[in-house]
Amino acid sequence: MRTIVFLGSDALLYGRIQAAADGLANVMMLPAAPASFTQAIAEIAPTLVLLELEGEHDPKFLVDSFAALAAIDVSFTIVVIGNAQNAGDVLAAVRAGSADFIDREEALGALRDRLARRLTILTAVDRDVPNTYSVVFNAQPGGGSGVFALNLAMTRARRSGEALFIDCELPASEAGAALNIALTYSLADAVRDVDRLDRTLLLSAMARHDASGLRVLPLSLHADANNGLSSESFLKVLRAIRPLFTETILNAADIREPILLNTLSQWASTIYVVCPQKFTALSDTKTLLKTLPADAARRIVLVVDEYNPVITLSPAQMLAALGLDDVISLPASRTELINGLNFGRPYILAKPGTPYALAIRAAAGDQIAVVAKSSRSLFQLLMGRLKGRPV
């Protein structure tokens, strides 16, 4: 039977949760302090974690609790339960990563419905297969993140049987044209449906690429559509969708809002930054990295777009200048990729043995090539330029 762990101290609230979950799941109560629950919750491996947020709490309580739970199992689904009338608490919970926010005074019947819905969502996919989430950023506006992310998503879909590609490319996604499918449902639509989103709805509404098994969810369906999504709405719908698919690849493209950069990066098991072999792009990448969480560097893969060995700025030198360890070099294939887009036949599927397709497969399989450090003289030159010193 499914298990809910309630992290809190309110015995009356615990009793109400037990009553609401009767027949749905076993409910266990543990202290909310990370030092007290770490070992026990790792052994229990709950289906759902309910985290009590008391009226008076340390401002760092949510961040610390979510970090402690993620350290045990990044796939835990956590729902905060507290005072829904306190907008600050709700927003803090959303930003910390809560999949939902339940009012502690919720009527018993409504509470049961909320728990049943959440448990149904969580058991809609194979829970023995860990959910992975990757995010792709452009180093510079209008870069190649969309093409790379789509090819990465297709490759992962073929490997695992399904994957979800969320495309935030502006003004509109080109995934439909590239895959020769009609995009039928968008993130803007999902925001309107967020209170009833489940796997069944999404599978019936989203476009599917039959050759790869990839589902596509663009930001909007038309270039002139004004989706008007707030950062909070965007994150709320992503939290609802993420647990429903074993593989999710988000093309964040040119997103630079601090709350989105921070949260999307915190969630990701891998962060890809697509950067061409240009000093300006390298400088913009360094600026982007400074805005990401402090622990993000170990999860970042630099994707050198349109790699040309004749260009003197090599992937090794780019890594050294940025202080990163992992790189994927995408061979120059612009003509082939555009032809594939124009004819709706993805290049990596039509020509799976090409160097470009093999590089995408390496990225999808986390077979990252670690390149040797660059020469000291060029490293100093690049670092001097990045720091704004004369060279």
Residues 205 and 345 in one domain: yes
- The confidence score (pLDDT) of residue 366 equals 44
Flag whether 189 is in a domain.
yes
Residues 113 and 150 in one domain: no
- C-alpha span between 143 and 278 (Å, rounded): 12
Flag whether 241 is in a domain.
yes
Whether omega before 171 lies within 30 degrees of 0, making that bond cis, reads yes
Q: Looking at the chain, list the stretches that DSSP marks H as alpha helix, in order from N- to C-terminal side.
A: 11-20, 34-44, 61-72, 87-96, 108-122, 145-160, 175-179, 187-192, 199-205, 231-241, 258-267, 279-291, 315-322, 334-343, 347-350, 355-364, 376-386
- The confidence score (pLDDT) of residue 384 equals 61
CB 275, CB 139: distance < 8 Å = yes
Is the pLDDT assigned to residue 81 strictly greater than 90?
Answer: yes
Any idea what DSSP says for residue 104? T
The mean pLDDT of 46-73, rounded to a whole number, is 85
- Identify which has the larger pLDDT, 384 or 270: 270
% of the chain surpassing 90 pLDDT: 29
In this structure, what CATH number is given to the domain that contains residue 83?
3.40.50.2300
Indicate the number of domains in the chain. 2
φ and ψ at residue 259, rounded to 5 degrees? -65, -35
In this structure, what CATH number is given to the domain that contains residue 199?
3.40.50.300
- The confidence score (pLDDT) of residue 385 equals 59
Segments forming the whole domain that contains residue 7: 3-122
Any idea what DSSP says for residue 369? B
The mean pLDDT of 25-34, rounded to a whole number, is 90
Q: How many secondary structure helices (H) and strands (E) does the chain include?
A: 17, 13
Flag whether 327 is in a domain.
yes
- Identify which has the larger pLDDT, 122 or 207: 207
- C-alpha span between 243 and 76 (Å, rounded): 9
Q: Which of 69, 93, 122 is the last residue of a domain?
A: 122
* Positive/negative CA dihedral, 92, 61, 81, 266: positive
Tokens of 281: 């792009």
Residues 294 and 368 in one domain: yes
Q: What is the pLDDT of residues 310-341, one digit of tens each?
A: 888 889 999 999 999 889 998 888 888 887 87
- The confidence score (pLDDT) of residue 80 equals 93
Residues 67 and 179 in one domain: no
Q: Which of 91, 122, 153 is the last residue of a domain?
A: 122
pTM for this predicted structure: 0.69
- The confidence score (pLDDT) of residue 369 equals 45
Flag whether 171 is in a domain.
yes
Q: Which of 122, 148, 170 is the last residue of a domain?
A: 122
Under DSSP, is residue 102 helix (H, G, I), strand (E, B) or coil? strand
Is the pLDDT assigned to residue 44 strictly greater than 60?
Answer: yes
- C-alpha span between 242 and 167 (Å, rounded): 14
Flag whether 127 is in a domain.
no
- In the numeric block, the tokens 């039977």 are attached to 1
Cα→Cα distances 36→8, 27, 43, 45, 262, Å: 11, 17, 13, 15, 28
- Identify which has the larger pLDDT, 313 or 95: 313
Q: What is the pLDDT of residues 337-367, one digit of tens each?
A: 887 877 778 888 888 888 888 888 888 874 4
Residues 25 and 140 in one domain: no
The whole-chain average pLDDT of the chain stands at: 83
Q: How many residues does the chain have?
A: 391
CB 215, CB 203: distance < 8 Å = yes
Q: What is the pLDDT of residues 96-121, one digit of tens each?
A: 878 788 999 999 999 998 898 888 76
